[in-house]
Amino acid sequence: MKHFLLFSCLAVCLSVIAGAQPEPGVAEVTERLQLRYEMIDDLTAQFTQHVKFGFSNIEQTFTGTLSMKKPNKYRIESEHQTLVTDGETVWAYSPVNSQVVVDRYKENRNSISPEQFVLNLPENYYATILASEKGKNGKLITLKLVPKDDRSFVRSVKIWVEDGDWSIRKVTIIDVNDTETTYSIKDLKLNTNIKDKSFTFSAPNGTEIVDLRQ
């Protein structure tokens, strides 16, 4: 639940980080990621998520919307689930089960926020630029990230960056269960002054509430 929440936000945040010069090295790309991320206060976007589960090879695709505001405020909505955090509390609502699970917001090595990911990228990941490939709008450069901590839930991350304007077109995350999750982002809007009330959740009448904070 929390992995999905934070990885989705991470993918969207990475998709808006751009601004490097053509053909930079790994160190320059990392620096540009950090500088660009510091300029983002909030964002909204639509996303498509494709998941291929490692054990079963079952594949799923669905769409949703995401809102994010610094620090550590997220809201992700799809037809299957709504995930919300205000930086202190996390709500996971399932309309099918008519249930919401409430827990405290926590950060650890398995569920790290976009803020911590970007700012600590050089310390936490080995980065490699892979071979370029042809994309829809031109050449794509692939950046591969491998966690330095072998206890991490994430096994690797790949980011496809368009050469020239350095916008990120795709993010793929592979976890320790060999589940591969790919995110595509569209209709992105930055710094629109999203209100804090967007990052709280009120359960519909009749919803079962499971509170894990006790």
Spell out the alpha helix ranges (H) of 16-141.
26-37, 114-119, 121-124
Whether residue 170 is contained in a domain is answered as no
Whether residue 161 is contained in a domain is answered as no
Return mean pLDDT, the chain. 81
Whether residue 139 is contained in a domain is answered as no
Whether residue 207 is contained in a domain is answered as yes
Which region, left, alpha or beta, applies to residue 57 given φ > 0 means left and ψ of -120 to 50 means alpha? Answer: left
DSSP code of residue 203: P
Whether residue 23 is contained in a domain is answered as yes
Distance, in Å, from the CA atom of 8 to the CA atom of 43, rounded to the nearest integer, reads 13
DSSP code of residue 33: H
Look up the CATH number of the domain holding residue 48.
2.50.20.10
How deeply is 213 buried, as exposed, middle or buried, from its count of CB atoms within 10 A (0-12, 13-18, 19+)?
exposed
The least confident of 98-102, 108-112, 129-133, 134-138 is: 108-112
Whether residue 202 is contained in a domain is answered as yes
- Domain of 65 in residue numbering reads as 2-122+184-211
Neighbours of 58 (CB within 10 A): 10
pTM equals 0.74
Whether residue 86 is contained in a domain is answered as yes
Domains: count for the chain: 1
